[in-house]
Structure 1
Amino acid sequence: MHTPSPDWRDAAALAARLLLAVLFLGGAVQKLVSPGDAIGLLTDRGLPTLLVWPALAFNAAAGLALVLGVAVTPTALALAAYCGATSLFHFLPDDPWQMTIFVKNWAVAGGCLALAALGPGRFALPLRIPRGR
Structure 2
Amino acid sequence: MTDLMNLTGRVLIALLFLGGAVQKAGDPGQVTRMIESLGLPGQLVWAVAAFNLVAGLCLIVGPRVRTWALVLAVYCIATSWFHWQLRADPWQVTIVVKNWAIAGGLLILAAQGPGRLRIWR
Amino acid at match of 1:83: C
**2:43 aligned counterpart, secondary structure:** helix
Identity of aligned residues (%): 54
Q: Which residue of 1 aligns with 2:40?
A: 47
Where in structure 2 are the equivalents of 1:59-70 lying within 5 Å? 59-70=52-63
Q: Which residue of 1 aligns with 2:96?
A: 102
Q: TM-score, normalised by structure 1?
A: 0.85
When structure 1 is superposed on structure 2, of 13-22 and 93-102 the one drifting more is 93-102
1:7-28 deviations in whole A, cap 9, x for unaligned?
x321121011100110000000
Matches of 1:82 and 1:17, distance apart in 2? 16
Decide whether the 8 Å contact of 2:61 with 2:120 is kept in 1: no
1:11 and 2:4 equivalent? yes
Q: TM-score, normalised by structure 2?
A: 0.93
- The CA RMSD measured in Å over matched residues stands at 1.1
Decide whether the 8 Å contact of 1:13 with 1:118 is kept in 2: no
Unaligned regions of 5+ residues in structure 2, if any? Answer: none
Matches of 2:34 and 2:88, distance apart in 1? 16
1:63-83 deviations in whole A, cap 9, x for unaligned?
111121321011001101111
**2:63 aligned counterpart, secondary structure:** coil
Q: Which residue of 2 aligns with 1:86?
A: 79
